[in-house]
């Protein structure tokens, strides 16, 4: 039976480092508050001219290089983002053009923080079905241009950040490795706990001066509600993806949780009874880059040797939608 395997990974973050002290000069916050509540020390923000697609392009080139493949070898692109460069079209088509693949399909996935896991599940299904052989899966976000940097927006502005991660997947007949399965969900009744209201096609016009005056174009979050659901849904989903294959958390080689907040990752680790060695976190350096956190962390783990062939990996995420889910992979 065909399975999808990872052939290469890559990441890209802006070179502009924004420290907690930098934020304290924009709003009423402090390095101490941010570290204590989120674990974040610094994050990256784009400079004008750098975009979600340009970050995705750098990450994709790095993933292709690791895979020893050329852009022309890519048969399809699945591009996860909640912050496209434009309202329409999505980022995938711009990446297709700038990377210089053939005129291959480019599908945007809008599942926010769970975007990379949803995107992987699409690529996995396409590979298993024999529809496409080599698929580029990307998570890329620019959150910094959509945040309220005044004190009113401080509970979101200190968390979210910019970055991109990419992976090239391909088929194998070796059923001892590759993507094993998924557990994915959504609960739209909770959508407005973490959302960007405008621009929206339900408004006439889609965006107005009044929307902007009211801050409805900013990312809005009820942090406590999101936190409360995240620490339940992620462990529940990890257990489910394992249990469906007769496995338990003790079998995990490495868990890469979506980097939402270090306190959330710590609670997920505790709830699953995992050791420090079984969980990878890098939110201290990059903040929460939404759909990009998992592929960025994966690339760091692959390049540093933290992930080795044969390891059982679990990716898990939770975020706006609400959407959540997990992926199980034998590396």
- Active-site annotation holder among 20, 261, 281, 288: 288
3-class DSSP assignment, residue 260: coil
- Active-site annotation holder among 193, 211, 258, 301: 258
- Nearer to ligand UT7 among residue 85 and residue 222 (C-beta): 222
- Nearer to ligand UT7 among residue 80 and residue 180 (C-beta): 80
Establish if 110 lies at the interface with ligand UT7 (CB under 6 A).
no
Establish if 288 lies at the interface with ligand UT7 (CB under 6 A).
yes
Q: Which helix (H) or strand (E) holds 178?
A: strand 178-186
Establish if 117 lies at the interface with ligand UT7 (CB under 6 A).
no
Among 9, 20, 38, 81, binds ligand UT7 (CB under 6 A): 38
At its nearest, how many Å lie between ligand UT7 and the CB of residue 255? 16
Chain centroid offset of residue 115 CA: 6
Which residues in the 55-94 window bind ligand UT7 by CB under 6 A? none
What b/e string do you get for 251-272 counting C-beta neighbours within 10 Å, with b at 16 or more?
Answer: ebbbbbbbbbbbebbbbbbebb
Binding mask 250-269 for ligand UT7 (x = CB under 6 A): ----------xx--x-----
Chain centroid offset of residue 12 CA: 13
At its nearest, how many Å lie between ligand UT7 and the CB of residue 104? 30
113 is catalytic: yes
At its nearest, how many Å lie between ligand UT7 and the CB of residue 168? 25
Among 77, 138, 194, 234, binds ligand UT7 (CB under 6 A): 194
Establish if 292 lies at the interface with ligand UT7 (CB under 6 A).
no
Among 106, 113, 219, 294, binds ligand UT7 (CB under 6 A): 113
Question: Can you state the percent helix, strand and coil of the chain, rounding each to 5?
Answer: 40, 25, 35
- Nearer to ligand UT7 among residue 104 and residue 255 (C-beta): 255
Establish if 29 lies at the interface with ligand UT7 (CB under 6 A).
yes
Q: Which helix (H) or strand (E) holds 8?
A: strand 3-12
Interatomic CA distance for residues 116 and 319, integer angstroms: 12
DSSP letters of 214-259? Answer: TTTTS-EE-HHHHHHHHHHHHHHHHHHHHHTTT--GGG-SEEEE--
Contact assessment for residue 277 and residue 311, using Cβ atoms and an 8 Å cutoff: no
Cα radius of gyration rounded to whole Å, the chain: 19
204 is catalytic: no
Which region among 71-79, 121-129, 150-158, 170-178 touches ligand UT7 (by CB under 6 A)? 150-158
At its nearest, how many Å lie between ligand UT7 and the CB of residue 69? 31
Establish if 37 lies at the interface with ligand UT7 (CB under 6 A).
yes
Which region among 39-47, 224-232, 244-252, 267-275 touches ligand UT7 (by CB under 6 A)? 224-232
Contact assessment for residue 283 and residue 261, using Cβ atoms and an 8 Å cutoff: yes
Among 155, 177, 185, 303, binds ligand UT7 (CB under 6 A): 155
Which among 74, 300, 280, 264 has a CA at the least distance from the CA of 165?
Answer: 300
Size of the site for ligand UT7 (CB under 6 A): 21
Tokens 């022309």 sit at which residue?
72
At its nearest, how many Å lie between ligand UT7 and the CB of residue 159? 6
Residue ranges of the alpha helices (H) in 138-222?
Answer: 154-157, 209-213
Interatomic CA distance for residues 164 and 12, integer angstroms: 5
Helix (H), strand (E), coil (C) string for 50-69: CCHHHHHHHHHHHHHHHHCC
Residue 125: DSSP 8-state: H
Catalytic residue positions, numbered: 113, 258, 288
> Where on the chain is the footprint of ligand UT7 (CB under 6 A)?
29, 33-34, 37-38, 113, 154-155, 158-159, 194, 223-224, 226-227, 230, 260-261, 264, 288, 319
């Amino acid at each position: 039976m065909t399975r999808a395997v990872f052939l290469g990974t890559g990441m890209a973050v802006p070179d502009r480092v924004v420290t907690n002290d930098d934020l304290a000069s924009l709003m009423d916050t402090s390095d101490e508050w941010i570290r204590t509540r989120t674990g974040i020390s610094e994050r990256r923000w784009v400079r004008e001219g750098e975009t979600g697609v340009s970050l995705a392009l750098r990450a994709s080139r790095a993933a292709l290089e690791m895979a020893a493949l050329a852009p022309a070898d890519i048969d399809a692109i699945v591009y996860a983002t909640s912050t496209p460069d434009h309202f329409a079209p999505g980022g995938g088509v711009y990446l297709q053009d700038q990377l210089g693949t053939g005129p291959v399909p480019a599908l945007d996935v809008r599942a926010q923080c769970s975007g990379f896991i949803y995107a992987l599940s699409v690529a996995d299904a396409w590979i298993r079905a024999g529809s496409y052989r080599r698929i580029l899966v990307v998570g890329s976000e620019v959150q910094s241009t959509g945040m309220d940097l005044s004190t009113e927006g401080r509970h979101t502005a200190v968390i979210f950040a910019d970055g991109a991660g990419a992976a090239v997947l391909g088929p194998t007949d070796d059923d001892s490795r590759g993507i094993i399965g998924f557990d994915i969900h959504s609960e739209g009744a909770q959508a407005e706990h973490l959302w960007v209201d405008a621009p929206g096609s339900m408004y006439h016009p889609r965006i107005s001066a009044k929307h902007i005056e009211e801050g409805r174009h900013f990312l809005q979050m009820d942090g406590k509600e999101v936190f409360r659901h995240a620490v339940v849904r992620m462990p529940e989903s990890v257990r489910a993806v394992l249990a469906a294959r007769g496995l338990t958390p003790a079998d995990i080689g490495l868990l890469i949780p979506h980097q939402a907040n270090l306190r959330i990752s710590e609670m997920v680790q505790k709830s699953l009874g995992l050791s420090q060695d079984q969980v990878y976190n890098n939110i201290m350096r990059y903040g929460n880059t939404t759909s990009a956190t998992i592929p960025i962390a994966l690339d760091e783990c692959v390049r540093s040797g933290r992930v080795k062939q044969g390891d059982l990996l679990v990716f898990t995420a939770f975020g706006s939608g609400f959407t959540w889910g997990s992926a199980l992979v034998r590396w």
